[in-house]
Every structure is written in C-alpha cells, then in structure tokens.
Structure 1
Amino acid sequence: MELSKMAVETINRENELALWLMVSSPRPVTNEWIMDHYQIDMATLHQDLAVIKDFASTFRLTLNPEFDQLSIYGHENDIQQAMLFILMDLHGQASDKKNYLPQEPFGTQRLTNVINNGIDNLAAFTDLSDASKTDLANYLWTLTLRYHFGVVKHAHFQQLFTHKQAHTIEAYDQLFKWSERMLNDLSQLYRDFDFPELETYLLTLRVWLNK
C-alpha cells in the first residue's frame, strides 16, 4: 500500500530531525528553531520526538528533552551508526545515487561534490564496489558534519592501535595518503576544525576492510 504524501513528509521530517540532533550531539537544539525550521507546532514536535526516541534507543542513544531544547547523548560509534542507517535509507529511496546526501541545514552541494570527487580519485587506483562507494560517502558526510556541528569524543590513539597495527595501516601508502588528502579537503570546507590523526587511520582501515 502506497504511503500518502503527508505520511512521506512526516517520515522525511523525522529522519532529518533525528540526523540534525545526532549531528549536533551533545550540543542542544532549541524547540523554537525546530518548529520554525519545519513549520510545525508543539503537538507535532512531540509526536516526532516519540518516534525519534524509539529510534535512538535501538542504537543505545538517549534523547534528552530539557526545558526548551533537545539533545541526543551516546557513544560516538553509536551516533555514527545511527546516522549511517538513516543515510542508507535515503540512498535507497533516491533516484540520483550521487546526490542523495542531505543539504540544508546540514551540508552543502560543495560538501557532496568534494566527497564524490574524492571517491572517484580513490576508485582510480583501487577496486571499489558500488556498495563500498555508498558506505564511504555516507561515512565521510557523517564524519565531517559531526566534527563541524557536534563534539566528537574518541578513545586515545594508543587505546585503539598498537604501534605494530599503526605501521601496518601506514604501509598501505597510497591509500593512507589518499585518506590524509581526503580529510584535509573536507576540513578546509569549514576551517573551524581539523581532523585528529586518528581519523586518518580509521578511514584507511575502513576503506581497506570494505573494498
């Protein structure tokens, strides 16, 4: 049975709002901004939040309504996994598989272009399936906007990689250098953050494992 236009709009709004709260985490978003941006009333917002709360809990995230603002709390890996889940759903619905990543109030077409160009450059020297390209695009979008809008907390480098593991990742020289360039290009779009060294290793490892 086909969903009504209103039902589709509601689902899209709830997905976008969930993304916005996760992108911003743990920073709060005001109820006033949400209602103005989506042109909804408080009753509709409460209905949306009930859905988002259930969704967040499946990823071990907590929706925290406090006074006149909202925030989502949880471990960084869980936040990113929840965001990637929504982006994968958006990709499945999209007719244009290269331009499905959300725009305002999140990123811009420039962000999408930098991501797509970077993946094309990667595909020039390593084999990537379409699924791997999609996963990588979603990951780069998620990572960039988490650092731009939110506060990212990771374990220390030494807690994630031994010296031997780090050297093994660095040994994939061309791929490692691509990761460095890719993250530099993304951070230059905003100029209000720099990716820590750890992210270069995590990105290289992600590409290597998903080829």
Structure 2
Amino acid sequence: MQVEQLRATLESALDRAGHAAAELGASEYLIVVDDLTFVVRNSTVTTILPDGSPSSRARALAGGYLQRLAFGGKVEGRNFGVTRTGPARFDLTKLVPMLEAVHERLAPVHIERLPFEKLIARYDRPGALFYCDPPYHGCEDDYGQGVFSRADFARLRDLLEGAKGRFILSINDHPDIRDLFAECAIEEVGVTYRVSGQVTAARELIISGGRGESE
C-alpha cells in the first residue's frame, strides 16, 4: 500500500528563545563543522564560547555541540548525556548529513520569534492546524527563564479554544491540565521517561480541539 505524504502549503515554527535561529541559521556551516572536528566529547565541557557572542557562527558552534550532548536536549540546565549501550551522542561523521536534512525540512518554514499569542493571532484561519508542545506542567523553566509561566497554560487554552483552526497539544498528565482542558478531547498515552537516568513509566495527554473541529 502506497501512503501519500501530505505537506502543508504554509508552515511556521515558534522559536521564542532564539536557539533554532542561531544554531540552524549560520551561513558558514561547513566552517562550523571544521571547527568541531577535533573537539572531544568531554563531560567537563559545559560551554565552548562565551554566552552572548554576537557571531552566528560562534553561537551555532556552541549551541549545536552542547544541545546534542545535553541529556534530554534541555535548553536550560544542560548536563552531559551518556548511554551505556551506544556511541557518543555527538558524532561528527553524521553531522553534515543531519544538517543537510534539517535544512531541507525547514527551508520552507517561517521561523518566528514571537510570544505564542502573537504567533497564533498571525496564522490563525479556517484550515490552520497548531501543534503545541509547551513545557511540562511543573517544569515551566525548561525552555528558558521567562519563556513560559504556569499562568500561560490558561492563556494558551483560551487562545486555542477560540481559534478558527484546530490544535493538537501534547503535555504531561497532570490534574491541573485535565481541568484546564476539560472541554477539549483528551487522549491518554503511555510513555517511558529516561531523562532522570532511570526508566519510568508515565502518561502524557494528547489534547485536541478548536472551532475548526466542527466545520
């Protein structure tokens, strides 16, 4: 059976903290690859270049290296991720194909650095589909200080429930989240968490809705 892959005519991604723009937008990415050639995968390395460097090349170099090695891919509070069953998490031999694949996938995407309410207002229309991946309830600072707050869950819900399009939101299973989105469709999904270093069974919620659901 042949499955047709559908592609949206317009895609936009929210990069509120500016990490994707810095790490994927460096024009001299082959020079960045050269700079990383002899960097060892060292657990004592928590930064390569000073924070706030104005160079897009420097930010791509530091950000890409650290993000690949950070356990769980955390933006804030990065720590060194290892596995006892596989090779190093940063493999330079696979870096160029990975960057090329990411570039091809994101080439037609509008990458916005806006508050989420402004992005939703800009792109909301009948037929739109918003996929939302907010930080877990109780881990609001994981995307960066001040990027998302506990109160923003209710603000996001109000915006999504009034949207002309539809939405899908994934989040950890928490009573507060169930209460906030009680009027929406909620699907419970079993998952396994490994970021703590231990395998822990858990549940997440796939929440969907929007005024477009009834059209």
* TM interval, short-chain normalised: under 0.3
Q: Give the TM-score of the pair, scaled to structure 1.
A: 0.26
More strand by share: 2
Larger radius of gyration: 2
More helix by share: 1
